[in-house]
Structure 1
Amino acid sequence: MSELLVIGGRSGVGKTSVGSAVHALLRDADVQHALVEGDTLDQAWPPPWEHRLSMRNLAAIWANYRELGYRRLVYTNTVAVLEADELAAAMGDEPRIMGVLLTASDDVVGARLAGRESGDQLTAHLERSARAARRLSADTPAWMPRVDTDGRDPVEVAREILTLVPWGVGGRP
């Protein structure tokens, strides 16, 4: 049986950094897995969202991983926690779903986004991030843990996440 770990959260919360840290910890523990950054699956202009290209691309990518014997997928994307069932369906092999919503304060997110955006782009990212935070807070399933990233190193956050999944890392069998 396959397993899907979704890591979601607003822009600037640390999804990419934490996903990379989860990958490194799993690699160092010799736990076979794949990491997919969901933003790369439909990053195009104009946005192809109405065609569900990200799900189609995930299905194609996961088929290749599955053919090679992979059974664990770590998937990061802003709304991954809201689309976990659809992501699992795209995998095509009825994976067990686990997930975590990363959270951070407006001040921390603002500082992080200011480190990579400027001017009008920064303003737009801050507005989208605030909207996403409200939506994610309201709509993320209650069973999905929330993990705060304020003042924390991505490796520390990744270690906490791995205590929540039974992949033989972080204290769980």
Structure 2
Amino acid sequence: MNGAPVPLLWLCGPSGVGKSTVGCEIFSQLERAGVPVGYVDLDQVGLCYPAPADDPGNHRVKSRGLGAVWPAHRDAGVRCLVVSGGVETADQVRAYAGQVPDAAVTLMRLRAGHRVLVERFLGRGWRPDLLDEVVRDADELERGKLPGPCVDTDGLPVPEVARLVRERAGGWPRHDAATLDPAPLDPAPLDPATLGSAPLDPMPPHEAPTGEASTGETALREGGHDGVRPGSTPVLWVCRPPAVGKSTVGYEIFTQVNGSGVKAAYVDLAQIGFCRPAPAGDPGNHRLKARNLGALWPMYRDAGARCLVVTGAVHRPETVRAYADAVPGTALTLCRLHAGPAELARRVLLRGAGGGPTIPGKALKGWPEDALLRFAERAAREAAELERVGLGDLCVDTDGRTVEEVAGLVRARAGGWPA
């Protein structure tokens, strides 16, 4: 890349301190200000487990994951990149920075006192058994000598932490920084009329390559798991409507598989597509996501992954084929999850109250009830459209079932996936 290095702001700190939340806030501020910006959560580009014994933090995979998705963001024209992810040593920082040699890296550590850190971590509702380890890691970071400044987050709202981070990073990224609007995201754009008028999946039609079709495309035509060829790598894609639980179910499948001793990889497509502004002809950023999926999979495969779980929104067969062609040599099974309107509304309201997983870019917590209900109505309309189109090799109804039950049912209906 010609020209000056691209500014990269890396937020680090202990688990639960708010790295992803603050990173998303800075990304959103810059997006609203019209600055071309990208965001990468390092955990989301390193989900390939079990991790090796000599690298339990999976830093080798995560650093390579950052390097894998950086070119697509850079080529999309971002003027700055926000990254969040834990790191413990200066050597690890150098390893990550070596993957983005044309970026100017600024490391910023977030900290919180024990009481605040415990409250935040437990508030996530995930792995409370790790709390003691989290506190120990936080204390170790306090004793360490990571390069870069530190921001104390105790008692501060997220926008204020974001402001302090950028201020202490020299007005990062120094692109009209004084004009940026620090206000939190406003859910008001969730107007039913606006949502209803937007095309579901406006990616331009995919141009199939000449010659023999890819394994993934053949599997799509021949029918999911029935089309898997011997020796091809199994890929399971769990798709939406919104709030149906695709990320939760997909991650549960991933956890079940690697828990059985099979090394598996997981990609949430939404998490590898944070790049704004999106192209006018591809508002879903499918081209960027497909390119990043294609860059991540060989890295995961080389790290020992024997299968891949993917979650993400899709509505049209040509979009599915574009993703399938990004991972040649694989056998793709597309599973559509279904939930009725009442169940979708219940789940949306639950997330609005703070329930469900905390995933960058997917937070509904704190939204007004009327906005949540409009979101639920949109999800129901998209569910009905998916039912009409019949997209997918199989469909699993999630109503009245636990996440574990749905995950088990998906795998069973996919022929005992990844068998």
The bucket for the TM-score relative to the shorter chain is 0.7 to 0.9
2:140 equivalent in structure 1: 135
Work out which structure has the larger RCO, using CA pairs closer than 8 Å and 6 or more positions apart in sequence.
1
Match of 2:155 in 1: 151
Indicate the residue corresponding to 1:123 in structure 2. Answer: 129
Shift of 1:55: 1.7
Q: Deviation of residue 138 (structure 1)?
A: 2.5
Matched, 1:5 2:9: yes
My pick for the range that moved more, 6-15 or 68-77, is 68-77
- 2:48 pairs with one of 40, 44, 48: 44
Aligned counterparts of 1:20 and 1:70: Cα–Cα separation in 2: 15
Superposed CA offset, 1:85-127 (max 9, x none): 222211132x222121101011111111121236xx3132x12
Distance in 2 between residues matched to 1:169 and 1:133, nearest whole Å: 34
Could you say which structure has the larger radius of gyration? 2
- TM-score in terms of structure 2 length: 0.37
CA contact 1:162–1:169 (8 Å) conserved in 2: no
For 1:80 and 1:37, the matched residues in 2 are separated by 16
Aligned match for 2:61, one of 16, 33, 53: 53
1:100 is paired with a residue whose SS is: strand
Query: Is the Cα–Cα contact under 8 Å of residues 5 and 73 in structure 1 kept in the other structure?
Result: yes
CA distance in 2, matches of 1:89, 1:106: 33
Take 1:35 and 1:147, find their aligned partners in 2: how far apart are those partners? Answer: 20
Counterpart residue number, 2:242: none
Q: How does 1:90-109 map to 2 (within 5 A)?
A: 90-93=99-102, 95-109=103-117
Unaligned stretches of 5+ in structure 1? none
Does the 8 A contact of 1:79 with 1:136 survive in 2? no
Give the Cα separation in 2 of the matches to 1:18 and 1:109: 15
Moved more, 78-87 or 60-69: 78-87
- 2:25 pairs, out of 3, 12, 21, with 21
| Inter-CA distance 90–71: structure 2 relative to 1 (3 Å threshold) | farther
Give the one of 91, 94, 97 matched to 1:88.
97
Change (3 A) 1:111 1:36: same
**Distance in 2 between residues matched to 1:39 and 1:96, nearest whole Å:** 21
Q: In structure 1, how many angstroms separate the alpha carbons of the residues matched to 2:88 and 2:99? A: 13
Checking the alignment, whether the CA contact within 8 Å between 1:59 and 1:92 is kept in structure 2 is: no
The CA deviation at 1:80 is: 7.4
CA distance in 1, matches of 2:79, 2:173: 13
Alpha carbons 2:8, 2:81 under 8 Å: kept: yes
Distance (Å, rounded) in 1 between the aligned partners of 2:8 and 2:135 = 27
The Cα shift of 1:170 comes to 4.7
SS in 2 for 1:91: coil
Number of positions where the alignment pairs a residue of Structure 1 with one of Structure 2: 167
Give the match's secondary structure for 1:23: helix
> What corresponds to 2:174 in structure 1?
167
Q: Distance in 2 between matches of 1:41 and 1:127?
A: 26
Offset of 1:81 from its aligned partner? 7.5
> CA separation in 2, counterparts of 1:170 and 1:108?
30
Q: Which moved more, 1:102-111 or 1:46-55?
A: 46-55
Determine what percentage of the aligned residue pairs are the same residue: 31
Deviations 1:34-79, CA, capped at 9 Å, x for gaps: 1100111112331254682112221110011122222422110121
TM-score (norm 1): 0.84
User: Higher mean Cα deviation, 158-167 or 3-12?
Assistant: 158-167
Structure 2 unaligned regions, length at least 5:
180-419
**In 1, Cα distance between the equivalents of 2:59 and 2:94?**
18
